Amino acid sequence: MDFLRKWDASVERGAKVRLLREHALTASTVRRWREARASGELTASMVTTAERSSHRMENRDRAELARLRRENEALKKKVAQSEAAQQILGKAFELLEGITSSSEKSPEIPPTLMSADEYAQWLKQHKLS
């Protein structure tokens, strides 16, 4: 009701637009209020409902949004760290797998360090004798 009085009193250029912005309302909302007032159907609850429009954020909502954004950033960092750890573990697994498979074979001693019997056996294994 008070808003409509201010609306009617606004005669300067841009005053009504400024009033709409201050209250986060649209021109169509004010038009509906004026039509309802003219027909006698305007109630205080219509005004309070519109003033709590979805376009306006209360401080509590802003604080919640800021908290959620911080939490989101922290979770993104955590996911990135987890993915990096997963890659490192995958590489370590491949390395250990390679070490295990190479240790299953008999260690290769250079032929120059082998005894005569070992050298003869080595020649047979490599089908060189």
User: What pTM was computed for the model?
Assistant: 0.37
pLDDT value at 86 more than 90: yes
Q: Which of 77-81, 82-86, 92-96 has the lowest mean pLDDT?
A: 92-96
Q: Count Cβ neighbours within 10 Å for each residue of 22-47 and write b for 16 or more, e otherwise.
A: ebebeeebbeebeeeeeeeebeeebb
CA gap 82, 78 in Å, rounded: 6
Q: What is the DSSP string of 19-54?
A: HHHHHT--HHHHHHHHHHHHHT---HHHHHHHHT-T
Q: What is the mean pLDDT of the chain?
A: 81
Domain positions in the chain are 2-51, 57-129
